[in-house]
Chains A and B, each alone.
Chain A
């Protein structure tokens, strides 16, 4: 797994065998967890549910690079919606992809996943990623759904962003610390 970090440092945007596999795993995990945690759906939040699983594409972005993060978010959201029977909402899936891509931009700078500075940096990236991703999804709903800016921001963006930020800020650091232990123990 140390090889993974070396790959990313060489080329942040690489998509080799390792990235193909982890992108697929990240997407499948996101899909399964989104589906499994659907019972946590928040009331009065429209089409947005409380999904702890959103931490997965963000974490995969940080661990394996922006392309893996993007793919995990995009395809994972599609899988989750497919499994749950919600249908297909391409702009929200793209928004989820952005949520995985932006934290991935710090992948090359990760020294240790347990390092306090790295974790704080990851939290900042997570917040920026959620804002960018959900803003994209909400704003693209304006021409598609014919809603206005207020509805897009208050009805769509705010509940989704708030929920995802809380999920990401809590769970991404936990996953990073756990991953650090896995790297240290694996000896690969």
Chain B
């Protein structure tokens, strides 16, 4: 089983930034966008998020799986849900006089009925929610493709995470190829004994139970092997004092500029929302007029 990290160096504009600056700014932008339900503001953040994706030099081929996943989730689950049922948001739609495009009453058994309608407000809400979710998702989903896994330890260590946690994170990334190989060896061995992983059928419970012959040996072998790693690290006096990292990160001027931009964005968003009361849910007048 070949484990391949999604990351590769693309010599893109985004690659020139310190990973710590990118994490900080991503969370600052997230905190900023959460202030708004007005499409006119959200579209700005969406453009910003798309600009970041564009600057990574990622191709559609590389990310189509993630995009498909996000779009299916956003459009079908949340979008249609909001569009048809009008659910979601900070109880926005319940307080607004609806402008109905279309309405149908569906008769149900026992004399019950269900009124299904499409309104200008639901339409505006669905579109706003879809764009807002796409913005948030695309802020972060690029990370596996654009951040070097070998730098996660030093990145989080540099962001204030205690040394041991940062080291554990680094170690976890390093263990993945070894454990994936163990998984493959165990899978082959179990198949040789008649284990048919391809026939994982017979209901959910049976399916899960059938995974045990694969899960147990790999986990137990890893635990036994871990004991040797603990001994080796203890013999090298791990934990007596903080150690340095092989990779070193240094903030450049551009990183400070990026962080300053993120902070400014958050401050402006907070002021617009909490001081000027801007950014609340907005329905375009033309959409209301369309409903008549």
Contact = CB atoms under 8 A, between A and B. Distances in A.
Interface of A: 1, 15-25, 27-29, 31-33, 35-37, 40, 46-47, 50, 52-53, 55-56, 59, 63, 71, 75-76, 79, 81-83, 85-90, 143-148, 150-151, 155, 163, 166-167, 170-171, 174-175, 178-179, 182, 186, 188
B211 A79 contact: no
B227 A25 contact: no
Contacts of A171: 208, 211-212, 215
Contacts of A35: 3
B233 interface: yes
Contacts of B168: 20-21, 23-24, 27, 71, 75
A29 to B, nearest CB: 6
B150 interface: no
A16 B239 contact: yes
A56 B77 CA distance: 29
B34 interface: yes
Contacts of A53: 215
B6 A85 contact: yes
Given A56-B215, A79-B172, 19 more contacts: A16-B164, A21-B171, A21-B229, A24-B171, A25-B223, A28-B222, A29-B222, A50-B204, A50-B208, A56-B219, A63-B223, A85-B66, A87-B66, A88-B143, A146-B132, A148-B89, A155-B81, A174-B216, A175-B215
Contact of B69 (A15, A79, A86, A145): A86
Contacts of A36: 1, 180, 183
A80 B78 CA distance: 24
Contacts of A146: 37, 78, 88-89, 128-129, 132-133
Contacts of B91: 148
B44 interface: no
A32 B183 contact: yes
Interface string B199-225: 010001101110110011011101110
Contact of A79 (B176, B204, B219): B176
B172 A27 contact: yes
18 contacts: A15-B162, A27-B169, A27-B172, A32-B176, A33-B183, A36-B1, A47-B73, A55-B215, A56-B215, A82-B6, A82-B144, A85-B66, A88-B143, A145-B78, A150-B87, A151-B78, A166-B208, A178-B216
B169 to A, nearest CB: 6
Given A40-B200, A75-B169, A182-B224, A52 B211 contact: yes
Contacts of B136: 144-145
Interface string B12-54: 0000000000000000001000100100000000000000000
B259 interface: no
A108 B234 CA distance: 23
Q: Which applies to chain A's interface (DSSP): helix, strand, loop or mixed?
A: helix
Q: Could you tell me the dominant secondary structure of chain B's interface residues?
A: helix
B220 A178 contact: yes
A71 B165 contact: yes
A38 B215 CA distance: 14
Given A28-B175, A148-B87, A87 B141 contact: yes
A25 B226 contact: yes
B144 A87 contact: yes
Contacts of A23: 168, 172
Contacts of A29: 179, 218-219, 222
Contacts of B220: 178-179, 182
Nearest to B162: A15
B195 interface: no
A182 B143 CA distance: 38
A139 B48 CA distance: 26
4 closest A-B pairs by CB: A87-B141, A24-B171, A28-B175, A27-B172
Given A25-B223, A40-B207, A18 B215 contact: no
